[in-house]
Chain A
Amino acid sequence: MNRDELQEKIITILEDDFEFAHPGLTDNLRDDHGFDSIDAIELLAKIETMLGFQLARAEKEKAMSIRTINDILDYIEAIQAAHPS
């Protein structure tokens, strides 16, 4: 999945499942969209489903530094690179 495809999927998830209105790639997820710790855990579960495998605990912990949609995309690309299957 290239970055454009990934971006389209993530934005669809944020709009459909997290009710984001007009999400921007550099928006602050918490301040601009009310994204909280509960949402972060739910999003990780959706990312696991999308990727088709379970994330290791260390990988999940790295997600705690995510602040923007661009950060989400960077995070998933790094995960994909670490799981080259």
Chain B
Amino acid sequence: MKRRVVITACSAITPIGYKPSDIIDSLLQGRSGVKPLRDDGLLTQHIHSRVFGTVDYPIDYGFTRKDTKTMGPVAFYACQVAKDVLAASGLEQEFITSGRLGVSFSSTHGSPTVQRNIYKTFFSKLPSEFSSIGAVDYLKSMVHTTAVNITRMFGITGRVIASSTACTTSSQSIGFGYEMVKYGMQDAMICGGADEYDTTTVAVFDNLLACSVAYNDRPECTPRPFDIKRDGLVVGEGAGAVLLEEYESAKRRGATILGEVIGFGCNNNGGDLILPNLEGITTTLRLALKDADIRPEDVDFVSAHATATKMGDVIEAQAIDAVYGGKPLVTGLKSYMGHTMGSCGAIEMILTLYMMEQGFIAPTLNLESVDERCSMLNHVRTITKAQTRIAAIQNFAFGGVNTCLLIANGRNAGV
């Protein structure tokens, strides 16, 4: 059984906005969500990179204590975007709790904020400190906390997939959710990822010399994917969720079809856990094309992973060139908000859906002088009017995991 899988709702909390109109406006205005790194009273003073993709606006969650007692900050983000997609979907409550709707959602490592409070007890010999570990701290901090808080909040009884693979977390979530629906295991899936404000991730990349440090006094000027003056990635926070549904049932119930997932490629480099791998990435892009049964020239737009690290961008450019050549438009959307880690794949898909619907492609921000090793691509340098039919969203992670999602414009989903 192979079924078509359409996207019928989406929502994202990003450093450049939450409401679709705010996000679209940020893209059109070239507005960055990268801000000075917030002081956490612990690690911040030791970190060289002083910038962060920041969600600094209030969010009216409206959750009750019954909802929040098992939620750390990351689950607040996750449940909010899940709530949005369910509200927008118009799905009946009977279906939501039927077991035919599942959840494929995760984060890089649960809730670091809650984990940090637990670790404090390691350094105290006071029994009162030990008992300060809350009974629900595990539920708030465990790696699948986002997925199961979503199921709990909405009474969802279908499958749960919580793929935690760092930067490919949410692109795998969407890919695995797509396969669940495509092969008839579930009729619909809420898919995505979230990550909260966390300085430990910044410290890790900082110690690997992978973080941007040259623009601490001008946060909006970094990251700079594909630019000759790029100096590394910027960690960020956020969340993204999409609702995937089987096409025929979505059409029958009159759902709005935002797009269609037509292909998913995923593999592993099978070796080094950090360095980008041209062969692994190239293979992933081709696996997605094969899954979608389309030709490279059918792809109009590539949302590149493009973290702005020195080698990562070059390897990715070589992979795009090898598979697609210089035809498709290419943008690195992390230039607007930094690397939102476990949520980046979902957020970049959602931004791509917004741009498809609006008929434009945003340029890579801060791309002033293209690194000649990346210059063979069709980089988007200014706001470009485009009727994108098919887009590729590609993401690569520590651990050697590579993903590529291919989506078609919702306008084409009925044909």
Question: Closest residue of chain B to A35, judged by CB?
Answer: B66
Q: How far is the CA of A18 from the CA of B131 in the complex (A)?
A: 19
Question: Closest residue of chain A to B135, judged by CB?
Answer: A41
| Residue B65, interface by CB 8 Å | yes
Q: How far is the CA of A39 from the CA of B134 in the complex (A)?
A: 11
Q: Verify A19–B134 contact, CB threshold 8 A.
A: no
Q: Verify B136–A38 contact, CB threshold 8 A.
A: yes
Q: Verify B131–A45 contact, CB threshold 8 A.
A: yes
Q: Verify A19–B135 contact, CB threshold 8 A.
A: no
Q: How far is the CA of A34 from the CA of B127 in the complex (A)?
A: 31
* Residue-wise interface mask of A (35-48) relative to B, using a CB-CB cutoff of 8 A (1 in contact, 0 not): 00011011001001
Q: Verify B65–A18 contact, CB threshold 8 A.
A: yes
| Residue B70, interface by CB 8 Å | yes
* Residue-wise interface mask of B (100-128) relative to A, using a CB-CB cutoff of 8 A (1 in contact, 0 not): 00000000000000000000000000010
Contacts of A70 in B (CB 8 A): none
Query: How many residues of chain A have a CB within 8 Å of chain B?
Result: 11
Question: Closest residue of chain B to A42, judged by CB?
Answer: B135
Contacts of A49 in B (CB 8 A): 131
Which A43-66 residues sit within 8 Å CB-CB of chain B?
45, 48-49, 54
Which B47-82 residues sit within 8 Å CB-CB of chain A?
64-66, 69-70
Contacts of A42 in B (CB 8 A): 69, 134-136
Q: Which DSSP category, helix, strand, loop or mixed, fits chain A's interface?
A: helix
Contacts of A39 in B (CB 8 A): 69
Q: From residue A18, how far is it (CB to closest CB) to chain B in Å? A: 7
| Residue B139, interface by CB 8 Å | yes
Q: How far is the CA of A18 from the CA of B136 in the complex (A)?
A: 14
Q: How far is the CA of A77 from the CA of B127 in the complex (A)?
A: 24
Q: How far is the CA of A45 from the CA of B132 in the complex (A)?
A: 9
Q: How far is the CA of A49 from the CA of B70 in the complex (A)?
A: 21
**Residue in B64, B69, B127, B131 whose beta carbon sits within 8 Å of that of A38 in the complex:** B69
Q: From residue B232, how far is it (CB to closest CB) to chain A in Å? A: 42
Q: How far is the CA of A45 from the CA of B70 in the complex (A)?
A: 16
Q: From residue B335, how far is it (CB to closest CB) to chain A in Å? A: 42
Q: From residue B220, how far is it (CB to closest CB) to chain A in Å? A: 42
Q: From residue A12, how far is it (CB to closest CB) to chain B in Å? A: 16
* Residue-wise interface mask of B (333-359) relative to A, using a CB-CB cutoff of 8 A (1 in contact, 0 not): 000000000000000000000000000
Q: How far is the CA of A14 from the CA of B368 in the complex (A)?
A: 59
Which B275-326 residues sit within 8 Å CB-CB of chain A?
none
Interface residues of B (CB under 8 A from A): 64-66, 69-70, 127, 131, 134-136, 139
Interface residues of A (CB under 8 A from B): 18-19, 34, 38-39, 41-42, 45, 48-49, 54
- 3 shortest interchain CB distances as A-B pairs: A41-B135, A19-B65, A38-B136
* 9 contacting pairs across A/B (C-beta < 8 A): A19-B65, A38-B69, A39-B69, A42-B134, A42-B135, A45-B131, A45-B135, A48-B131, A54-B131
